[in-house]
Structure 1
C-alpha cells in the first residue's frame, strides 16, 4: 500500500460527495476490484482522487496506481484542481462560483519567477486579514487578461469571474469564523446571498462578526435606508455623447477600414475591450441584489 500525503488545502477545494454518491463509488470500486483511473499526485502528495484513496485505505485488497504531474508550485496544483473539478462533475451553482473564484484568485495573483504568493508565504493570520483587502486594488492588465481567459474556459462572463472571487473570499471568511460553513454553503444546505458574501469579503476584520450575525439572523438586519446618490446625470450623458462624437469623428478618417485587414483587426480589438468594459457596468446595474 502506497502511503500518500493529504494536503488539507488541496482536499478542501474538492466538493465532497453526498453519502449516496460515496456509497455508489465504493460499490463500483469493489465490483471492479481495482481503481481503473490512477490517482493524481504531486510528489507524494495526493492531488486528485481523495474519495477513491479513502476507499482503498478501507479496503487494502483493492489495487491502485498513481500518476505524477510536474507541477512547479502549490499555486499550479490549486489552479489545476479548480479547473479539473469545473470540467468533470455536476456542481451546485455555489460550488461553481467558489471554484471559478478560487482559480481566478490564484492565477491573477501569481508574482513572476518565484512560484509563491501571499497564500503560501504569509502566516495564517495575515492570510485571513488579506482576504478582505485585495478588493480595493484596481485590476491590472494581467488580471484583465486572466479574467478573460477564465471566462472563456468556463463559458461565463468576465464580471461573473470577478464576482466569484468575492463570493469565494466571503465563504472562506465565513468558514474561518464558523468552521463547517463552507461545506454547508457550497452544498446548498445553507443559502446565502451573493451580496452578503461580497460585503463580507470587503469588510474590515472588526466588522465581520456583525455581518456574519446578520447572515445567520436576517431578522436582525437593520432596516434598509434610502440611498441618496450625488450623481450628475447630465454630466454622465454628456460624457457618453462625447464618446460617440469622438468615435464618429475618427471613423471619418478611416475610409479604407473595411478593406484593410490589419486596421480592421486592430479596430475590432479596441472596440471589444471597451464593449467588455461597458458591459460590466450594465451587468452591475441589472443585478437584483446590490450590496
Structure 2
C-alpha cells in the first residue's frame, strides 16, 4: 500500500458522497477486485480519488495504480480538480456553482502567478488570425458549463462564502452539499463579498434563515402513478438493483429533506409539541400530509398484494 498525502483543501473541492453512495462504491470495487481507474497524484499528494482511496485503506488487498500529473502549482491543481468534478453528471446546482467559482478563482491566481503568459500567447494567435479579443477566463468557464460570464463571477463570491461559512462553523460545507441546509444564493454571495469584520453578522443571518415551507396537498396524479408501481414487501436487507439506484437516491433524498426541514422547525419552536395552541397548529399543518401518506401506503399495500397473487 502506497501512503499518499491527503491535502484538506484539495479534498474539500470534491462533493461528498452520501452513505449509500459510498457503500455502493465500496461494493463495486470489491466486486471488481481492483480499481479500474488510477488515482491522480501530484508529488505523492492525492488529487482525485479520495473516496476510492478511503476504501483502499479498509481493503489493502485491492490492487490499484496511480497516475502522476505535472502540475506547476497548487492553484493549477485546484483548477483541474474543479474542472474534472464539473464533468460529473450528478452534481446539484449548489455543487456546480461552487465548483465553477473555485475554478474561476484558482485559474485567475494561476494566470497571475505565470504573469498571464498563456493568455498573451493565445491572444496573439487569435488576434492575428481572426482579429478578435481573447476569451476571458470567466467567459471560457461559462461556455464550458453552459452558463454566463456574470454567473461565473457571482459563483466566485458564492464559493468563497461557502468556505467562510465552513471556517466559522466547521462542517457547514459538507452539511450544505448533503442538502441538510438550504441557504439562498444571495446570502452566501454576500458572505463571500463581506469584509472580515462583517462576516459574523452575515453568518448569523445564514444560521437563522428558515426556508419558506411549500404548500403540500394530496396529489391524485401522484397516487395514480403509485398505483402503477408494483412493490414487494421490503425487508432491511433489501439490496436495491443497480438500475434503480438513481430512483432510490431521489426518494431517499426527498424523505431526508422533509425530515431535516421538520427538525429545523422543531428546533426553532421548542414548544411545538407541548404548547396546546401550537399543537393544534401542528396537527392542522400535518393533516393533509398524513392523509396523503396514508393513501399512498394503502395503494402500495394493495399493489404488493396483487403482485403476490400473480407471482
The alignment's TM-score, normalised by the length of structure 2, stands at 0.59
**Post-superposition offset of 1:89:** 4.0
Separation in 1 of the partners of 2:65 and 2:47?
13
* Partner residue, 1:178: 169
In the TM superposition, residue 34 of structure 1 has moved relative to its aligned partner by 0.7
Tell me by how many angstroms 1:186 deviates: 2.2
Query: Given the alignment of the two structures, is residue 211 of structure 1 paired with residue 212 of structure 2, yes or no?
Result: no
Q: Any stretches of 5+ residues in structure 2 without a counterpart?
A: 117-132, 211-311
1:98-137 to structure 2, matched below 5 A, reads 98-110=98-110, 111-113=112-114
Q: Name the residue aligned to 1:267.
A: none
**How do residues 43-192 of structure 1 correspond to structure 2 at under 5 angstroms?**
43-110=43-110, 111-113=112-114, 145-192=136-183
Give the gaps of 5 or more residues in structure 1. 116-140, 220-291
1:195 aligns with 2:179: no
Runs of 4+ in 1 over 4 A off after TM superposition: none
* Distance across 2 between alignment mates of 1:113 and 1:213: 39
Task: Report the aligned-residue RMSD.
Answer: 1.8
| SS of residue matched to 1:23 | helix
Output one character per residue of 1:203-241: Cα deviation in whole Å (capped at 9) or x when no partner: 22222111111111148xxxxxxxxxxxxxxxxxxxxxx
Considering Cα pairs closer than 8 Å and 6+ residues apart, tell me whether 1 or 2 has the greater RCO: 1
For 1:71 and 1:37, locate their aligned partners in 2 and report how far apart those are by CA, in whole Å. 19
C-alpha distance in structure 1 between counterparts of 2:59 and 2:156, whole Å = 39
Q: Relative to structure 1, is the Cα distance of residues 205 and 27 closer, same or farther in structure 2, using a 3 angstrom cutoff?
A: same
Aligned-residue offset at 1:114: 7.5
Paired with 2:209 and 2:26, the residues of 1 have a C-alpha distance of 40
Query: For the residues of structure 2 that align with 1:218 and 1:58, how far apart are their CA atoms?
Result: 39
The alpha-carbon deviation at position 3 of structure 1 amounts to 1.0
SS in 2 for 1:179: coil
Contact 2:183 2:209 in 1 (8 A): no
2:41 touches 2:69 (CA, 8 Å); kept in 1?
A: yes
Q: How many residues align?
A: 193
